[in-house]
Amino acid sequence: MTVEERHHGGMPSAISYGPGVPDEHDLRLCGDVTGKRVIELGGTANAVAFAERGARVLAAATAEQIDEGRERAEQSEVRVEFHAGDLADLGFATSGSVDLVFSSGALAGVDDLPRVLRQAHRVLKPEGSLVFSVPHPMAAMLEGGEVVLRRGYGNGARTTSDYFMAVMRAGFRVDVMAEPHSINQPGALVPAALVIRAKKLGV
């Protein structure tokens, strides 16, 4: 029996880009992770989903997230290596040893984004992928379901170009950028998320 066949009646858990956002089944940014080394930043649910697909997974998250992740990994009968601490503290991974760094939503709350991106660049293998999603910067201009602008674009929140330039300056090449709308609000005026895949340049 394969790893995937042991879970959820033959289906592994979905790799999520955020609430209401199309998942990896639709976006297809991570590819086949069987046998690959993957780090999830700022969460554990996707770490378990990657492990269910045969990846060797590490997760950097809060202590509370790790408690939930351990329980989920045990239920799914997979192994995930958990590390509590700052998302920029990836000392547990050696340089050039990781195939994929993934984050769903967590980078939006990071104060020093360039530092986190430099650490992701350090641990990735050449041409390794950084894949992350954040709430779409346009959504920060609205409140709830109202079609009323409450603040200026970029006023207190990073813009799309802020994320793009931060990734490029950290030594990555952006090869995919998606702005999916919420699957729960097909008529929404702004996208629900900004999703970026970038490849590591250099060594």
Question: Mind listing the pLDDT tens digit for each residue in 53-72?
Answer: 999 999 999 999 999 999 99
> Per-domain residue ranges for the chain?
1-7+33-85, 96-203
Write down the pLDDT at residue 154: 83
In terms of CATH, what superfamily is 1-7+33-85? Vaccinia Virus protein VP39 (3.40.50.150)
Strand order in the sheet with 172-178: 80-84, 56-61, 37-41, 98-104, 124-135, 193-200, 172-178
**Could you tell me if 69 and 80 are in contact, meaning their C-beta atoms sit under 8 angstroms apart?**
yes
Q: SS3 of 184, please?
A: coil
Q: Quick one: tokens of 129?
A: 């992928």
The pTM of the full predicted model, rounded to 2 decimals, is 0.91
Residues of the chain predicted below pLDDT 70: 1-10, 143-147
Fold match flag (1-7+33-85 vs 96-203): yes
Question: Mind listing the pLDDT tens digit for each residue in 181-196?
Answer: 999 987 888 899 999 9
Write down the pLDDT at residue 87: 95
What architecture (CATH level 2) is domain 96-203? Answer: 3-Layer(aba) Sandwich (3.40)
- Rounded CA-CA distance 60/185 in Å is 31
Write down the pLDDT at residue 155: 84
